[in-house]
Every structure is written in C-alpha cells, then in structure tokens.
C-alpha cells in the first residue's frame, strides 16, 4: 500500500473535483435529473472512472450534502459570532448566511432541494447535528429576551425567517435576477440584501442598540 503524500493528494484532488462538479449539476437538475455522465463530463473524466471514486450515485450525493451542511453549520453558532451585544452578533450571523448564499449558491440549492423533497437522503446524524447547534442558539435568544434586550418573540420563527430571507438569494436567484434586471447577482446585490435583512430583522424584533 502506498501511503505517501503525492498519491493521496491526487486522489483527494480528483474527489474534490468530482464533488464540486456534482454540487453544480445536482443544484441545477436535482438528484434524479442529474445523470452521472454529466457530472463526470464536468469533472473531466468518464462515468466509469467517476464510479471508481464514488461507487454509487447515492453515495456521491450524500457526500455533497454532508459537505454543504458542514459548511452551513459553521455559520450557525450565534454565540461564536464576534461582538458582545445582540445587535452585533445577529448582524454577523445574518451576514454569514448571506455570504454562504453568495459563495456557495449551488450547495444551498442542493440542500434546499433535499429539504423540499422531505429530506429523504438526510441522515439522522446530520439532522441531530443541526438540531443540536440550533438548541444553543435558541437558548441564547431566550436569554436576550429575558434580559429585555429585544421583543418577546418566538426564537424558532426568528431563525426560520433569517434562514429563508438569506437563502432566497441563492435558491431563488433566477427569480431575483429577473426582478432586479440582472443577468447574474452581483456583489453589491448581496451587500444590499445583507443591509436590508439586517435592518428589517433587528428593528423588527426590537433590538436595542
């Protein structure tokens, strides 16, 4: 068995390339509508060669999903956001989510597709991980409410709104592009979005700052 760096690096390189191609094609065509051949072509190899790295379509898809969720959860911890007051932490949280939509729109779309379909491929482990992270965030918001730093709203719905309002710039980009008259959303559009969402939500839940 070969264990040196070079070999491992080449395999990893190929795998990352395939995962990236898969994320794009799955985002555009959905799980069922994405032929392995198209993913392989985008990754620059043959379907059979792709199957050598990922023995099945389902497994490839799950790896993509896992990678996306890992990335998504990075931005999840409200407590870990810079700043001390709720206003700063929430703004960073919202900006993190918008940034995710901007830099990884395909990942967002794959995830959205999966949830819309009833999350048939999402493992219980991933679901648990998501819930666990959210628990901590819900608690923190409840503390803020108890301290009178914001209106007494239901924290769960707050997160539903933040997720929806930020992800829409990735998932529904084709619609937003039409409305804004863009061929593709630009950095300034995402900045506008971040400002807007932050303003409305912070003010809307009565954050004092």
Site for DNA in 12-71 (CB under 7 A): 14, 34-37, 45-49, 51-53, 55-58
Please, are residues 121 and 58 in contact by the beta-carbon 8 Å criterion? yes
Helix, strand or coil, per DSSP, at residue 99: helix
| Separation between Cα atoms, residue 180 and residue 68, nearest integer Å | 27
Helix, strand or coil, per DSSP, at residue 126: helix
Considering beta carbons, is residue 60 or 201 the nearer one to a second copy?
201
**In the numeric block, which tokens belong to residue 5?**
């760096």
Site for DNA contains 6 (CB under 7 A): yes
Considering beta carbons, is residue 83 or 206 the nearer one to a second copy?
206
Instruction: Give the interface segment with DNA, choosing from 7-15, 113-121, 133-141, 156-164 (CB under 7 A).
Output: 7-15
Sign of the torsion angle spanned by Cα atoms 142, 127, 96, 180: negative
Where do contacts with a second copy occur on this chain (CB under 8 A)?
A: 27-33, 109, 112-113, 115-119, 127, 131, 134, 151, 153-154, 156-161, 163-165, 167-169, 171-172, 174-176, 178-180, 192-193, 196-197, 199-206
State the burial class of residue 153 (Cβ atoms within 10 Å of its Cβ: 0-12, 13-18, 19+).
middle
Minimum Å gap between C-beta 1 and a second copy is 40
Total chain residues near DNA (CB under 7 A): 24
With CB under 5 to 8 Å by kind, the binding choice for 76 among DNA, a second copy, none is none
| Separation between Cα atoms, residue 118 and residue 136, nearest integer Å | 25
- Secondary structure element (H or E) that encloses residue 29, with its range: helix 5-33
With CB under 5 to 8 Å by kind, the binding choice for 56 among DNA, a second copy, none is DNA
Binding residues vs DNA (CB under 7 A): 1-2, 4, 6-7, 10-11, 14, 34-37, 45-49, 51-53, 55-58
């Amino acid at each position: 068995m070969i264990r040196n760096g070079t070999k491992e690096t080449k395999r990893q390189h190929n795998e990352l390339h395939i995962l990236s191609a898969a994320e794009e094609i799955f985002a555009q065509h959905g799980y069922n509508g994405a032929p392995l051949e198209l993913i392989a072509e985008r990754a620059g190899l043959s379907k059979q060669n792709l199957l050598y790295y990922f023995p099945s379509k389902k497994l490839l898809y799950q790896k993509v999903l896992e990678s996306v969720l890992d990335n998504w959860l990075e931005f999840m911890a409200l407590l870990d956001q810079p700043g001390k007051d709720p206003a700063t932490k929430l703004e960073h949280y919202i900006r993190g989510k918008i940034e995710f939509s901007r830099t990884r729109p395909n990942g967002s779309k794959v995830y959205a597709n999966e949830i819309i379909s009833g999350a048939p491929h999402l493992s219980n482990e991933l679901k648990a991980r998501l819930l666990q992270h959210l628990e901590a965030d819900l608690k923190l918001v409840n503390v803020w409410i108890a301290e009178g730093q914001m209106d007494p709203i239901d924290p769960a719905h707050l997160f539903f709104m933040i997720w929806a309002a930020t992800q829409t710039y990735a998932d529904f980009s084709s619609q937003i592009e039409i409305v804004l008259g863009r061929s593709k959303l630009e950095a300034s559009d995402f900045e506008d979005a971040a400002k807007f969402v932050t303003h409305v939500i912070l003010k809307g839940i009565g954050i004092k700052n």
